[in-house]
Structure 1
Amino acid sequence: MSTHPVGNTANPAHTGHAAPGTPGIDVPDRRGRTGLDTHGRGLTGNPDVRITDVEVLACDWYVLRKTTFDHRRRDGSWSRQQRETYDRGDGATILLYDAQRATVLLTRQFRLPAYVNEHPTGMLLETAGGLLDGNSPEEAIRREAAEETGHEVGEAEPVFVVYMSPGSVTERVHFFAAPYAASSATSSGGGVADEGEDIEVLELPFAKALSMIRTGEIADAKTIMLLQWAALEGPFAPRPGGDVRGPSPRRSAP
């Protein structure tokens, strides 16, 4: 990972960057938040890092900050550095699978950031997911699975918790897996239209989904991670007899 030092001699920290009446600082922003410039101040978990200043660059819906900090290098010297961090909250994602039929449920929707960064259409195949928005990870993934795929999730298996882009984005994503069946479908899914979502639900053979990673048809990181987990350790992992693991009692479909 590259660094962006702003000088090895510590200068007095910049303070007073927020004028009175600044949204997100001392008056509520559009989401009712204040004190957004305190994020990270007072952390003591790493004695080799001292945060000296936090500046809010934008707080429309999510929050973009510029943080200045002193970092003690391995040779004992200190350097002053700055980083911009994008805070959109934490998220959750889930792989819905049918081990008996060897299928998975994925979604397809338009992703502007991918489209403007050389994806030919911006239409990405993904596992269902979304932001926690104040819910617990399991509550959030039940909500997102129902909204996007139309399936009510039974017991969701935690898989792992991952920082997806730790160089610039604060988000942690909670990964889950759960079975689905015809009986768990309560709606057609498709997302929340009022939030601009227009989501297509696709059922794919698991082997086909894996092959789409190799061809680049599936290019979403969280989806690749869950599919590979399913093949190596999850519901489609080989057993000693050569068969896939199949559903266990605690993974029974709702």
Structure 2
Amino acid sequence: MTKHEDQRLRIIDRRTLWNGFINLEQITLEQMMSDGSTARLVREVHDHGRAATILLFDPERQMVVLVRQLRLPVFLQGESGYLIEAPAGLLDGEAPEVAICREAMEETGYHIESALHLFDAYMSPGSITERTSFFLGRIDTSKKVAPGGGLAHEGEDIEVLEIPFEEAIAMIRTGEVCDAKTIMLLQWAMLNRAALSG
């Protein structure tokens, strides 16, 4: 059975509510419930596209490279809005490995020869379509090839952070790192220390 052949679900209607920086749709569907009854549901779905993220790790110095940038939804929750996170971005039609190597260069200034694919995950499947590919990129922090900082024409103003690995792990406990994808990457690294150095 393919992903669109589940006989318990039937799409009744799809309506675009907004098509700008995000695409928001209202979906009306019928779902066969576990008791055999049928329920009609209306849901809003934010189509964000596919994305990729990467943990940049220097095995020689036991450092990770993270970035700090403005995230408006975080600010609207009453926090500073400047979130520490792993480099990431939308695929924009590229293969995940190609896209994340480009994003890493734009955001941090580190050239990635190859990115090791770790896993894929849906980030907020209750309302957002985004599926993110997670990667590991081994780097030498003494060989930064560009300043990074993001693309000015996209409104990016990104701070590049070189953080000792153990300190980055501790930042999860203190709440300084509270971005889901970054926590997932750092916890993967904790569980797979032998793989970090290749």
Aligned to 2:92: 133
Question: Max radius of gyration: which structure?
Answer: 1
Q: What's 1:19 paired with?
A: none
Deviation at 1:164, TM superposition (A): 0.2
Measured in 2, the distance between the counterparts of 1:245 and 1:162 equals 20
Answer yes or no: is the 8 Å Cα contact 2:45–2:128 preserved in 1.
yes
Higher RCO structure (Cα 8 Å, ≥6 apart)? 2
**How far, CA to CA, are the matches of 1:226 and 1:171 in structure 2?**
17
Query: Is the aligned partner of 1:78 residue 2:38?
Result: yes
SS in 1 for 2:127: coil
Counterpart mapping for 1:35-184 below 5 A: 44-119=4-79, 121-182=80-141, 184=143
2:25 alignment partner, SS class: strand
1:100 positional shift: 2.0
Shift of 1:246: 5.0
Alignment check: 8 A CA contact 1:153 1:184 kept: no
What is the CA–CA distance in structure 2 between the aligned matches of 1:80 and 1:207, rounded to whole Å? Answer: 49
Whether contact under 8 Å (2:65, 2:163) holds in the other structure is yes
Q: What do you get for the CA RMSD once the two structures are aligned?
A: 1.3
Aligned residues: 196
For 2:157 and 2:21, the matched residues in 1 are separated by: 20
- TM-score by length of structure 2 reads 0.95
Q: Paired residue for 1:203, among 155, 162, 179?
A: 162
The answer to whether the 8 Å contact 2:58/2:141 transfers is: no
Q: Is the Cα–Cα contact under 8 Å of residues 148 and 199 in structure 1 kept in the other structure?
A: yes
CA spacing shift, 1:218–1:44, aligned 2, 3 Å? closer
Residues 189 and 196, structure 2, Cα contact 8 Å, conserved in 1 = no
% identity of equivalent residues? 48
Which structure 1 residue ranges, 4+ long, deviate > 6 Å from structure 2?
none
Shift of 1:99: 1.6
- What's the offset of the Cα at 1:154? 1.3
Q: Measured at CA, do residues 118 and 186 of structure 1 come closer, stay the same or move farther in structure 2, by a change above 3 Å?
A: same
